[in-house]
Structures are given as C-alpha cells and as structure tokens.
A and B are shown apart, each in its own frame.
Chain A
C-alpha cells in the first residue's frame, strides 16, 4: 500500500521534473501529510531532490541533480518576462529553424533587447546558437520537459514585470 503511493509520487515527479508540491498533491489525490512523508522518504533514499524557490518547493528525479545549477538559473530566467517569452517560444517552435530577426519579430521584442538577453542565456548554458547555412538560430540546451513543467509553475510577479518593462523599454 505504502509502496504503491510512493511509486505513484515518484512516477509523477519523474514525468514532471520540477513539479510543485501542491500540484503533486492535487494530481496524486493524497493528503498533504501523506505527500510530505513520501517525498521525504524519497529524498532520503536519493530517488528525488527538491529545490525551494521563494516559497515554492519543486521536485526533481535525482538524475537531474548534476544539472541543479542550470535548473536554478533556468528558474531565475523564467521569472524574467523577456527570457521567459524566448524560452517558451523556443519550446513551442522546437522543430522550426528561425533567424534571430524572425524570433525578435515573432515575440515582438526589439532585436537589440533580445540580443542582450540571448547573450546571457548562452553564457549560462540555457540555450545554444546553431548555424544552418547562413542563418543562425537558437535551441534549448536544458531539457524541454523541465522548461515546460517549471514554466507552468513559476511566473514573474507584477513588480518583476514592471522592472522588466523598464529594462526592455529603456535601453541604456
């Protein structure tokens, strides 16, 4: 019985890397105490690990532990409006090769602003630039499922959106 619940929770975390505690509880349909107990056991046995970010507890299968720093950086970028837009765009258009100009046009951002963000995302190994003929395009280097799950859990706050608005519209 206990093993069934634990396996169910583990499978959910495995399928949704970066799942938030409340969502895990909602999907599994168990009480808070039950989910807390089993996640603790799974963490102790190093089957999973968690990252706490501004009160959010996100769970990952242990195999992602070596990418912990990259995941933390990804969380930071998903809290910033423009990098978030870009990451989600790249996630949705993963099979389409688009130039930087087209990307800037599609997500409605000034090319200079976009380039500034791209530079930082590449430095932090979140995305990669690839050349196709004469065109340079971007691809995600982080796992797509992680971007999808965390992207659905973490959003920029209203205040952060205001700061991003100033940064993007006040180029200095």
Chain B
C-alpha cells in the first residue's frame, strides 16, 4: 500500500515538473516576444520550481547518496530561489508611471530634438 502511494506521488511530482517546465518555456517565449523583465523572472521561477521537484527524484536518473543530504540541500536552495524570485516580481511590477501622459509628450520632444 505504501509503495503504491509512493509510486503515485512520483507520478504526480513528475507531471508537475513537466507542466512547470512547459509554463517556463511559454514565459521564456513571451520574454523573447516582449522583452519584459518580469517574464524572464517568471521563466526563472518556473525553472527553479521544476528543478526543486526534479532534484528530489535524482535517484531515478543517477545513484544518489541520500544520506549525504545533498538532494535535500539542493531542493532547499531551489525553493529559496523560487521565493526570492516571486518576491522580486511582486515588489517590482513592470508598471507605467502615474504621469504617463506627460512622459509620452516628453518622449516626443526628446525625439524631435
């Protein structure tokens, strides 16, 4: 029973990792299309989140010494990166200023000069 739960858990983690990677790719394409800084940060966030999930399943790909705690350490690092990136996106949104109309007129004048 326990091993069946483990298997199901692995499948869910694997699917989540793939979805996160796909979302990451979409945001990377969006970054290439619009050159918006926050699209790139979201791409990195998804990538780090996918890495965080995958790193726990490293033993499937390579023989990993679980007792060294390295996979756990790496997963922790990636989790921290995800949190920092999410905070950056929330704290520094890519918004236009309140004096937008004045800025536009100024941009025109600069071009004419």
Name A residues whose Cβ lies closer than 8 Å to a Cβ of B. 80, 100, 112, 115-116, 118-119, 122-123, 125, 128-131, 136, 160, 163, 166-167, 171-172
Please state if A128 and B108 are interface contacts (CB–CB under 8 Å).
Answer: yes
Please state if B30 and A129 are interface contacts (CB–CB under 8 Å).
Answer: no
Does more than half of chain A's interface fall in helix, strand or loop, or is it mixed?
Answer: helix
User: What total of chain B residues lie within 8 Å of the partner, measured CB to CB?
Assistant: 22
Please state if A172 and B39 are interface contacts (CB–CB under 8 Å).
Answer: yes
Sort A-B residue pairs by CB-CB distance and give the 5 closest, nearest first.
A129-B104, A172-B38, A136-B101, A115-B96, A115-B100
Please state if A166 and B30 are interface contacts (CB–CB under 8 Å).
Answer: yes
Contacts of A128 in B (CB 8 A): 108
B105 CB contact (under 8 Å) in A118, A131, A160 = A131
Tell me whether A163 and B96 are in contact in the complex, defined as CB-CB below 8 angstroms, given that A118-B104, A123-B107, A172-B38 are known contacts: no
**Supplied contacts A119-B100, A129-B108, A131-B105, 20 more A-B pairs, CB within 8 Å:** A100-B100, A112-B95, A115-B96, A118-B104, A119-B103, A119-B104, A125-B111, A129-B101, A130-B108, A136-B101, A163-B26, A163-B29, A167-B30, A167-B33, A167-B34, A167-B36, A171-B93, A172-B39, A172-B42, A172-B94
